Amino acid sequence: MAGNRTFTMIKPDATGAGNSGAITKMIEEAGFRIVAMKKVQLTKELAGKFYEIHKARPFYGELCEYMSSGPIVPMILEKDNAVEDFRKLIGATDPKKAAPGTIRALFAKSIDANAIHGSDSDENAAIEGNFFFSQFERY
């Protein structure tokens, strides 16, 4: 059965453009409950740790540079079928290919500065949520 939590972060292009409020509103209006949320800036090293699974991909260095270039808003979200429904809400990685009305279609600047992250599995949602929020607190 699909889990009911996912993890997201609003990325530096979107926080920098003043879109974190509008994006958070879309997330809540789509039926996701915000379980945990904060605003932080990663070091390049920590961004590298978060995106370790992409280490072999050609864009890894630039991705870590970019993800540490400004503040991000990580959140744990709750809804039935959370991972799949949230990926639908954000749209394709490349905003040019993202369906109309999705968060990336509305707010992303490019395939790298694409406004928002969404976990791709229940397992990664738990790992990514634990990266930013203490496992010893209750959310």
* Nearer to ligand UDP (CB atom), residue 32 or residue 114: 114
Query: Choosing among Mg ion, ligand UDP, none, which partner's interface includes residue 93 (Cβ < 5 to 8 Å by kind)?
Result: ligand UDP
Token output for 139 = 């959310």
Q: In degrees rounded to 5, what are phi and psi of residue 74? A: -80, 145
* Nearer to ligand UDP (CB atom), residue 9 or residue 37: 9
The end-to-end CA distance of the chain, in Å, is 21
User: Cα separation of 89 and 25, whole Å?
Assistant: 12
Query: Choosing among ligand UDP, Mg ion, none, which partner's interface includes residue 78 (Cβ < 5 to 8 Å by kind)?
Result: none
Q: How far is the CB of 132 from Mg ion (least distance, A)?
A: 16
By the criterion CB under 6 A, which residues form the site for ligand UDP? 54, 59, 63, 93, 111-112, 114, 117, 120
Token output for 128 = 């990514």
Residue (of 76, 84, 72) closest to 33 by Cα position: 76
Q: How far is the CB of 123 from Mg ion (least distance, A)?
A: 13
Q: Is 117 assigned a catalytic role? A: yes
User: Cα separation of 59 and 6, whole Å?
Assistant: 24
Catalytic residue among 7, 75, 117, 125: 117
* Nearer to ligand UDP (CB atom), residue 37 or residue 115: 115
List the interface residues with Mg ion, window 83-122 (CB under 5 A). 120
Classify 95 as helix, strand or coil: coil
